[in-house]
Amino acid sequence: MNESALVVVDVQRDFCEGGALAAANTLSLLPPLQKFITEAKRHGALVVFTQDWHPTNHSSFKASGGSWPVHCVAGTPGAELMQPLKAGAEDVVIHKGIGVNGAGYSGFDGTSLQQQLRDKGITRVGVAGIATEYCVRATALDALKAKFDTTVLEDLIRAVQEKEVPHVLAELRQVGVKLGNSASWLAAAK
Q: 133: domain CATH number?
A: 3.40.50.850
User: For the chain, which residues score pLDDT lower than 50?
Assistant: 1
Given 14, 135, 142, 178, the catalytic residue: 135
**Residue 135 bears catalytic tag:** yes
Residues 48 and 88: beta-carbon distance below 8 Å:
no
Query: Which residue pairs from 72-78 have beta carbons closer than 8 angstroms and sit at least 24 positions apart in sequence?
Result: 72/10, 72/12, 72/14, 72/15, 72/20, 72/21, 72/97, 74/98, 77/13, 78/12, 78/13, 78/14, 78/19, 78/20
- pLDDT for residue 190: 57
Domain that holds residue 132: 4-187
Domain count for the chain = 1
- pLDDT for residue 1: 45
**Residue 96 bears catalytic tag:** yes
Evaluate if pTM is beyond 0.75: yes
Given 14, 96, 142, 178, the catalytic residue: 96
CA distance 100 to 60: 8
